[in-house]
Structure 1
Amino acid sequence: MPRPRIALLALACLLGSSVASATSVRTDDCDIDSDYGLRLHGGVIELTRDEGTPKTIRIDQGRLWLDGAEQTLNAADQRRIARIEEQIDAVVPEVRGIAIDAAAIAIQSIVHVAHVLGNENARDAKARAERIEKQFVSKLDEQLAGPGWDEAGLEAEIESLVADMAADFASEIAGLAVKAALSGDEKMAEDIEARAAQLEKVIESQVEERARMLEARARKLCPRLEAIAELDDALEVRTADGKPLDLVRR
């Protein structure tokens, strides 16, 4: 009886890790962060956080609300708030594209594995992948155009959908390893093992390469994020306790 097949099990694990790699493209290289989560409501920008004051910042057509109270802005701050609004509106479509492409990397790698390993459900995998990709786009556009875009919620949704699909196929791949080990057919086991070992290298390389491309796209957002940071630093409006807004940190 052949020994347990390591490459198949490694490939199953790689499917799970490829989801995390592909869907976690961030703009950390910009050295800009924020304590707030972003939501969009029909063109209105809402920044929220669980701790600190204010908890909610609302921006709409150059006007500013802190925890529901509209602020009186001088002319310079009105212009700054309007510019911040413009920059955020410009960033969102690109973030949308990056999110969709990141999810596609993970989905396509899973389908590729099913196809090359001769999985009997490979055709179903492709159809399922197409459905999930449509779900991503639909969910994203629904949030952008409807009740609001929840940045953290969307990321969790993407990771959950892709992770579910990855888990299904990781289980099937692990099952192939067991089947090969128990079948007594050394040639079949060696063939599956060889294909799995090659796939592991190919998938890892493809995911890393495409993730790097997405990271490069994300870094192109840095000038806009830096512009937001500069405008934020220049704001003269203060919170109820006399502190700067600090929409972003750098």
Structure 2
Amino acid sequence: MSRHGPVAVLVLAIGLAFGLPAQAAGVSVHGDQCGYDSNYDVHVTPGGIDFSRSGAQPNEVFMHDGALRVDGRPVAVSADDAERLRSYEADMRGVLPEMAGIAHEAVGIAFDALTTVAATLGGSKHRRDALVNQLNQSRMEAMRGLEASINADHWSQQDFDDAIEKTVSEASEQMASALTRGVMWSLFTGRASELEARADTMDQSMEKEMQARSGRLEARAKAICPRLARMSELQQQFRFRLADGRPLQLMTDNRDGNGKDSQDSADDGKIARR
């Protein structure tokens, strides 16, 4: 006997359509999952690394081979700080390709899941094929955007957020509407039992697969944490100061004294008070 009635199938379809992009976005690839964050975009070239942002000072930081410029002006650094800058640059060159790979995989997981739902619950074969083709077009658009702005040489958190929130979420909304029509079509044409059977098969296999893929992606993201911790330590060890006397802060440490993310600590507190 099918575990899903017609109404349950409709709820399942729409819930999956809206829930999967959020699941992909939940895997942070900028470091805040590790307790670190940065509002700088990063651009890597053979001649150095440029950190840029708007709305706060400094706007631009450039480093290469131990030399440092801030907003276009050279900053005098000691021999020890020059060595720390070289290490920071090397670490950033190493971590950026991995961050880009995680971003691409997160978007890929979301679209794979959406396509599976569409191919299973999208109504008639003609409707299902049309919906899958539409999702494939949206996927190519999202990937082109990522490849242009998030890669081994460039990182922008806003570009990644846009890929998730705009491209993937828009595809989810379009699919939810199409799935509603598809489920209603199955009900009115007497194909509800066939749809329920497909939903059962999908529900049993897809949840396991998505949990496994998301788990691997999360582990991959967390593997970056020690490298970000090293970069944070290097930043804290810088002895030079900016023109206004402040230390250079390319990334922020949001962990508490126990090395945990501040949000994790807040969640633990909520659990303890229950």
Q: Do both proteins adopt the same fold according to a TM-score greater than 0.5, normalized to the shorter chain?
A: yes
For 1:47 and 1:56, locate their aligned partners in 2 and report how far apart those are by CA, in whole Å. 6
Q: Is the 8 A contact 1:23 1:99 kept in 2?
A: no
Q: Deviations over 1:11-70 (max 9, x none)?
A: 222222101211331144422233x22231545433344554323322234322222322
Would the aligned equivalents of 1:63 and 1:78 in 2 still touch at CA under 8 Å? yes
CA contact (8 A) 1:100 1:136 kept: no
Task: Report if aligned partners of 2:118, 2:175 keep a CA contact under 8 Å in 1.
Answer: yes
Instruction: Indicate which of 7, 13, 17 corresponds to 1:5.
Output: 7
Is 1:238 the counterpart of 2:241? The answer is: yes
Give 1:123's aligned residue: 129
Contact 2:17 2:176 in 1 (8 A): yes
Higher mean C-alpha deviation, range 112-121 or range 129-138: 129-138
Alignment of 1:216-231 (within 5 A): 216-231=219-234
Structure 2 residue 204 is matched with structure 1 residue 164: no
The separation in 1 between residues aligned to 2:219 and 2:154, in whole angstroms, is 27
**TM-score (ref. length: structure 2):** 0.76
Deviation of residue 76 (structure 1)? 1.4
Structure 1 residue 110: Cα displacement: 1.6
Q: Which of structures 1 and 2 has the larger relative contact order (alpha carbons within 8 angstroms, sep 6+)?
A: 1
- From 129, 139, 149, the equivalent of 1:143 is 149
Structure 2 residue runs of 5 or longer lacking an equivalent are 254-274
Compute the RMSD of aligned alpha carbons: 2.9
Aligned with residue 79 of structure 1, among 73, 78, 83: 83
Paired amino acid for 1:120:
H
Structure 1: which 5+ residue stretches go unaligned?
none
Identity between Structure 1 and Structure 2 (%): 27
Cross-structure match for 1:206: 209
SS of equivalent residue, structure 1 residue 58: strand
**CA deviations over 1:79-133 (Å, ceiling 9, x no partner):** 1112111111111111121111111111111221222235424334444454444
CA distance in 2, matches of 1:223, 1:169: 39
Distance 2:128 2:100 in 1: 29
Contact kept in structure 2, 1:42 and 1:145, CA below 8 Å:
no
The whole-number CA distance in structure 1 between the counterparts of 2:223 and 2:189 is 54
Structure 2 Cα separation of the partners of residues 197 and 106 of structure 1: 20
Equivalent pair of 2:149/2:159 in contact (CA under 8 Å): no
1:249 to 235, 247, 252: 252
Shift in CA distance, 202/232, structure 1 to aligned 2, threshold 3 Å? same
Task: Report the residue type matching 1:152 in the other structure.
Answer: Q
